[in-house]
Structure 1
Amino acid sequence: MLQAKTRTGRRRACARLAALCLVPFIGFSAPVAKADDFSTPKGVVELFTSQGCRSCPPADRAFEQLVREGKVVALSYHVDYWNYLGWADTLATKENTARQYAYAKTFGRNGVYTPQAVLNGRDHLKGTDAAEVNRRLERMNSSGKGLVVPVTASRHDDQLAISIGQGAGKANVVVVYFRQNQTVEVLKGENLGQSLSYWHSVTDVQTVGMWDGKSLDLTLPAKPMGDDKSDGIAILLQAADGAGNPSRIIGATVMKTTPKTL
């Protein structure tokens, strides 16, 4: 496990994640996105990883196993603070890094590490053991810390329709765009010479609304999917702590444009 230097992460949390915003997007004519087969996912797994981290490939493979099992909403965030080691991660964004540092504040940590798996926004662990991830999610579900609020979504033409059921508390409605699968040839750094496969790599995160415990239906302009940047969407119903940092996830669903053979 690699520990990032705290000074590297003195960046403010992503403003788009903390703020309420509705962003107009260009329409498109890609195939209608379909929700995955599960009605209620086992949980949400967010993996923070890097192409420049030699400890990350085993976690990326464990994450792929979770994607293939198809029981969780799985999202992979590539961070940029290992770029100084000689290889600039081709999928990393400063926003992904900011989200991880925001989680560190939520968990009361002074720094961040890779590979880190965040579960339902409530817990974290080294992301190399898919079986342990599943066990922890099952314990969360049995203790009432799972995805307890139903979330569904569909996309038709240039609109994204989101429906959220009733529940307790307040939360943000967060839309996460991702690439389903891609392979990267690493030419420098700690993973020099490796051909690495990445699944559900996040390209953008946007907060599009707020939920106050009552049933909520949102119809939004839909960002293009199926281009070279994203072909999947996840919807997270996520609370924030008192400082606006991401906290517990109480509902989620995921959609993909064209079914992939996993």
Structure 2
Amino acid sequence: MSAAFLAALAFSTAQAGDIRNPLGVLELFTSQGCSSCPPADRAAAEIAEQGDIIVLSFHVDYWNYLGWTDTMSSRENTERQYAYGEAMGRSGVYTPQAILNGREQMIGTSRADLNDSLETLAAKGDGLNVPVSTQMHGDEVLIDIGAGAGKADVLVVYFKGAEKVAIKEGENKGKTITYRNIVTDVQTVGMWHGEPTRITLPARVLDPRESDGCAILLQQTDKAGNPGPILGATVITTH
């Protein structure tokens, strides 16, 4: 790995301070083949520009039969959405669905409603209360997690920063939509048990040829392993 890349990554990590102490995490489950999704995609893009909320777009694959295969969709994204549904006691899933801090769900089309809901969660103590930060040390990325209650997984959620797609078939035929923070992979890299914790990763896991960055999520799970409350988060960008 080149010294130039390591220097660039160190700079990017430091510059993630705009959302180093984020208000919350917005996960949007969306699809290029869903006619109701473009307003939610716009709202997510606008919120991503605010600089105080971590936005992650999970493209699902269950609308691909409508005549257009979502170029960003994956079975893993669909499975994550269904796991949220099970954890929240819901009988099914839909798009565009927003999951806020792993705690609440809502239709994700209104920027104002999404912001208000995240502010309400933070005000009642369901925000990101455990500090999470990153720094470069040589050829390593250090993830530092503060103290809190309970235990949680440490996730690395890789994403592409932005991509414009011209949709040629299906319900959104003829539209060109810009998507933000498109999730490409989710990896569990460690556990947290309520005490200050440092996790060390090789810097090569953040190869900018594979992604534009990643979110670090401290997320609890239920007894079945389904995703639950997100206790802390930060972002590393590589571009």
TM category (shorter chain) comes to: over 0.9
Q: Deviations over 1:134-165 (max 9, x none)?
A: 11111111111110000001346642210000
Contact 2:20-2:235 at 8 Å conserved across structures: no
Contact 2:29-2:57 at 8 Å conserved across structures: yes
Name the SS for the 1:180 alignment partner: strand
TM-score by length of 2: 0.93
The residue aligned with 1:85 is 66
- Which of 225, 233, 236 pairs up with 2:207? 225
The residue aligned with 1:214 is 195
Cα distance, 1:133–1:193 mapped onto 2, change above 3 Å: same
Name the SS for the 1:237 alignment partner: strand
Question: Cα RMSD over matched residues?
Answer: 1.4
The residue aligned with 1:238 is 219
Name the SS for the 1:163 alignment partner: strand
The residue aligned with 1:124 is 105
Q: How do 1:36-115 and structure 2 match up within 5 A?
A: 36-115=17-96
**Alignment size in residue pairs:** 231
2: distance between equivalents of 1:40 and 1:109?
31
- Which of 153, 162, 169 pairs up with 1:188? 169
1: distance between equivalents of 2:101 and 2:107?
15
2: distance between equivalents of 1:224 and 1:215?
23
Query: Greater CA deviation, 133-142 or 234-243?
Result: 133-142
Cα distance, 1:156–1:48 mapped onto 2, change above 3 Å: farther
2: distance between equivalents of 1:63 and 1:155?
29
The residue aligned with 2:146 is 165
Give 5+ residue unaligned stretches, structure 2.
none
- 1:138 equivalent in alignment to 2:138: no
- Superposition deviation, residue 39 in structure 1: 3.3
% same residue: 54
- Superposition deviation, residue 256 in structure 1: 1.0
Q: Which amino acid aligns with 1:128?
A: T
The residue aligned with 2:156 is 175
2: distance between equivalents of 1:85 and 1:112?
17
- Which of 164, 180, 183 pairs up with 1:199? 180
Cα distance, 1:155–1:182 mapped onto 2, change above 3 Å: farther
Q: Which amino acid aligns with 2:226?
A: N
Q: Which amino acid aligns with 1:232?
A: G
Q: Which runs of 4+ in 1 moved over 6 A?
A: none
2: distance between equivalents of 1:184 and 1:158?
35
Q: Deviations over 1:17-68 (max 9, x none)?
A: xxxxxxxxxx566321322423310000000000000100000000011001
Contact 2:206-2:213 at 8 Å conserved across structures: no
- Superposition deviation, residue 170 in structure 1: 0.5
- Superposition deviation, residue 257 in structure 1: 1.5
